[in-house]
Amino acid sequence: MKLRTIAMGMGGILLAASCTNDVVEEVNMGQEISFTTRMTRANAVDNVSALKQFRVFAKAENYTETMFINGEVAKQGVISSDEDNRYIFNMEHTYHWPTGSNSIEFWAYAPTDPNKASETEIPGGNGATAKITASGAPVIENFTPTSFTSVKNNNGSIAHHNSGASHEDLLLAYQEAHRSGGTSISLNFEHALSQIEVRAKKGGTQDETGNTYNVMVKGAWIVNARGTGNVTFDENEGNKLSWSTDGSTKVVYGYELTEPISLDHTNSRLLAHNSNSELMLIPQELDEWNLETDKEQNTANGAYILILCRVEAVHPGAQHPGGGDYVTTLGTDKHVHQMFPLKDNETTFNENLYGYVCVPISTEWLPGKKYIYTLEFCGQESGAGIYPPEDDMTDLGLPTGGDGKEYITVIPTDPADQKKPGDPVLTNPIKFSVSVKDWDEAWKDGNEGNIPMK
């Protein structure tokens, strides 16, 4: 990963020893220790001015205590007067390189809040804590990005799974330093979480008959991702970040939109970087909903993207030849068919009906990567998704409607070709793509992330 140090607010920062007289007396006085730190580019914490403070741990060779520095907070201070104009970060104590120690291991994490009841509580982690392992490396346990909240809008209360608006970027750094290298220690902060975004668009254009589709989206969710994990620096892998999610409960992230988005042929952001959503989740390999062995029940709680939407087909002519159900006139030269959702014992066009569709996913989310899922509806080889597991429609606490709109959560029994969970709601699957970025660039071109809606 390409790293760089840039002056003042762009990527390089300097942590200098404090000018305070409060010196740690048990440390033998050598040269003062200072830190220069780097962060990977483009991220939720995207410049030095946004990084207000971080917490530092250090283990020194031959040091009599367990930790040379044990969770000290370094706070952003003034800008240095040198030619680089770098930020100065100060700690409460002044630390010097211990006499008799040739090497020191440093760890750091951000964000951190010294005003918390517990000094090791991780902001944004919903009660996660940091501690030292038996070997002396820090570990953050039970990090849990918030998965469910309840908010209100002008129309009343909307309970929804968390959109990510409260999620915080978790940054971790490790460096082993040697006395021979000097006392300016370089720390490289890495993004410990995976950033997730969901977009959607309409595929193709009108066909040879002049038919087109209207697709309106009212909500989006990531279903059955593991919600809690532990992260440490794997000493057997060069202190590489290592996550474990064993036994973690699978949860749901996403939200209901206040107003529907009408898709066009460009990407519309559903779960994305905006004021409503910034999903930063536990790195993991998703267990895909298996449509071969577990189609109707999804007993293994396989992962999928869930979309709340409605689909209409627009045809030329003021009237549909021979009449038909779920049809209405649009102007003087077009008519509209309600394609999805359908409702038992109802055959009239109802613009206020929305329903749930989904597409299974099996991506491995890695730390520091951004995954962009782009769903294509109603293209030449894509449809509008598949019916979700019916138990999930009741168990996940999904919205059921409001403000005159009704959300259909059951598969209608009226049609002759009775559908089941896992069957396409129309003819073809949703087509989708997934692009992966290092909070910048990774999966770029190609179709690695394209997801066709079945």
How far is 382 from 92, CA to CA, in rounded Å? 59
Is a pLDDT exceeding 90 seen at residue 260? yes
Which of 191, 213, 233 finishes a domain? 191
Write the pLDDT tens digit of every residue in 36-45.
555 544 335 5
Q: Are 190 and 234 in contact (CB under 8 A)?
A: no
> Residue-wise over 45-56: b if at least 16 C-beta within 10 A, else e?
bbebeebebbbb
Write the pLDDT tens digit of every residue in 163-214.
777 788 888 888 889 988 877 777 778 889 999 999 999 987 655 556 789 9
186 and 236 co-located in one domain: no
139 and 273 co-located in one domain: no
Q: Are 262 and 214 in contact (CB under 8 A)?
A: yes
Q: What was the pLDDT predicted at 85? A: 54
Q: Does 1 reside within a domain?
A: no
Q: Are 104 and 30 in contact (CB under 8 A)?
A: no
Q: What was the pLDDT predicted at 205? A: 65
For a pLDDT cut of 90, what percent of the chain falls above it?
23
Which range of 15-19, 168-172, 271-275 scores highest in mean pLDDT? It is 168-172
Q: Are 209 and 320 in contact (CB under 8 A)?
A: no
How far is 62 from 88, CA to CA, in rounded Å? 29
Q: Does 420 reside within a domain?
A: yes
Which of 191, 209, 238 finishes a domain? 191
- Tell me the C-alpha to C-alpha distance, in Å, between residue 147 and each of 124, 135, 161, 228: 11, 33, 6, 10
440 and 362 co-located in one domain: yes
Write the pLDDT tens digit of every residue in 94-142.
888 888 889 998 888 888 764 454 556 666 666 677 777 766 677 888 8
102 and 158 co-located in one domain: yes
The per-residue pLDDT of the chain, averaged, comes to: 76
**β pairing state of 12-15 and 87-91:** parallel
Q: Which amino acid is at 166?
A: S
Q: Does 4 reside within a domain?
A: no
Q: Are 218 and 257 in contact (CB under 8 A)?
A: yes
How far is 37 from 185, CA to CA, in rounded Å? 8
Q: Does 377 reside within a domain?
A: yes
213 and 173 co-located in one domain: no
| Residues of the domain holding 306 | 196-453
304 and 168 co-located in one domain: no
Q: Does 222 reside within a domain?
A: yes
- Secondary structure element (H or E) that encloses residue 228, with its range: none
HEC letters along 256-292: EEEEEEECCCCCEEEECCCCCECEEECCEECCECCCC
Is the backbone peptide bond immediately before 145 cis, with ω within 30 degrees of 0?
no
Q: Are 298 and 289 in contact (CB under 8 A)?
A: yes
Q: Does 7 reside within a domain?
A: no
211 and 184 co-located in one domain: no
DSSP bridge pairs for 173: 108, 189
Q: Does 290 reside within a domain?
A: yes
Q: Does 3 reside within a domain?
A: no
Write the pLDDT tens digit of every residue in 59-103.
888 887 678 888 888 877 766 555 555 666 777 888 888 888 899
Tokens of 353: 């009906």
How far is 270 from 374, CA to CA, in rounded Å? 10
Tokens of 325: 């159900």
Q: How many domains does the chain contain in total?
A: 2
Q: Are 286 and 253 in contact (CB under 8 A)?
A: no
Q: Are 165 and 277 in contact (CB under 8 A)?
A: yes
139 and 183 co-located in one domain: yes
234 and 278 co-located in one domain: yes
Q: Are 357 and 452 in contact (CB under 8 A)?
A: no
Residue whose C-alpha is closest to residue 110's, from 162, 71, 166: 71
435 and 412 co-located in one domain: yes
How far is 256 from 132, CA to CA, in rounded Å? 40
337 and 257 co-located in one domain: yes
What's the distance, CA 47 to chain centroid?
A: 20
Q: Are 448 and 435 in contact (CB under 8 A)?
A: yes
What's the distance, CA 112 to chain centroid?
A: 20
Number of C-beta neighbours around residue 102 at 10 A: 13
Q: In what order do the strands lie in the sheet with 138-143?
A: 129-132, 138-143, 229-234, 240-244
Q: Are 19 and 93 in contact (CB under 8 A)?
A: no
Which of 159, 191, 223 finishes a domain? 191
319 and 259 co-located in one domain: yes
- Tell me the C-alpha to C-alpha distance, in Å, between residue 77 and each of 4, 57, 224, 446: 22, 20, 42, 45
